[in-house]
């Protein structure tokens, strides 16, 4: 049986909660996903550098200031995603689905939930800064995201925007 956890730290700040167990699960899922999705897009050094900030502590901080969607089954994290504010804009962050559960609609569910949350806030757009994995970019384009001119220099990612 799947369990869905929604944590709203955008509307109310819970900095006193550590979310350590969830952050541990997310950091592990992200590490697995980056290795699985890479397909030689990034060399080992670049991939290691991109993953260097994907720590338990970094995810605890992100959780404390985000809207979080996490999907578990039998205490295993299958998928997660964040919605946060960055540079005064709402950003979709860290969408990850366990490689064994891709194609089951989990990424679509998380994206729909984030967009529904934003629409309920009265927002009309969402941004994503995506790694350059072709399948990831294609997924976001199918969901209506279009490339956006970056407002800051981006080396390993592309900026995309979707009107809601």
pLDDT tens digits, one per residue of 17-47: 779 999 999 999 988 877 776 666 777 777 6
CA distances from 46 to 26, 41, 50, 52, 79 (A): 21, 10, 6, 10, 24
Residue 1 pLDDT grade (very low, low, confident, very high; cuts 50, 70, 90): confident
In this structure, the number of other CB atoms found within 10 A of the CB of residue 52 comes to 9
CB 3 within 8 A of CB 73: yes
Two tokens, residue 58: 């970094």
The model's confidence at residue 14, banded by pLDDT at 50, 70 and 90, is low
Q: Which two tokens stand for residue 129?
A: 């800064």
For residues 155 and 125, give the distance between their C-alpha atoms in angstroms, rounded to a whole number: 23
The confidence band for 16, taking pLDDT boundaries of 50, 70 and 90, is low
pLDDT exceeds 80 at position 52:
no
- Rounded CA-CA distance 39/8 in Å is 34
CA 21 → CA 24, 67, 163, distances in Å?
Answer: 5, 17, 34
pTM of the model: 0.85
Mean pLDDT of 75-84: 96
Give the C-alpha separation, 44 to 117, whole Å: 37
């Amino acid at each position: 049986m799947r369990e869905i956890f929604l944590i709203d730290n955008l509307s109310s700040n819970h900095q006193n909660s550590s979310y350590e167990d969830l952050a541990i699960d997310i950091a592990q899922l992200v590490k697995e996903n980056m290795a699985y999705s890479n397909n030689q897009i990034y060399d080992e050094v670049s991939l290691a550098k991109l993953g260097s900030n994907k720590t338990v502590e970094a995810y605890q901080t992100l959780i404390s200031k985000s809207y979080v969607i996490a999907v578990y089954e039998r205490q295993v994290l299958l998928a997660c995603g964040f919605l946060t504010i960055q540079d005064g804009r709402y950003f979709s962050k860290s969408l990850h689905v366990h490689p064994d559960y891709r194609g089951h609609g989990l990424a679509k569910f998380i994206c729909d939930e984030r967009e529904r949350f934003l629409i309920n806030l009265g927002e009309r757009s969402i941004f994503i800064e995506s790694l350059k994995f072709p399948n990831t970019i294609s997924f976001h384009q199918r969901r209506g995201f279009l490339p956006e001119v970056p407002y800051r220099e981006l080396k390993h990612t592309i900026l995309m925007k979707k009107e809601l």
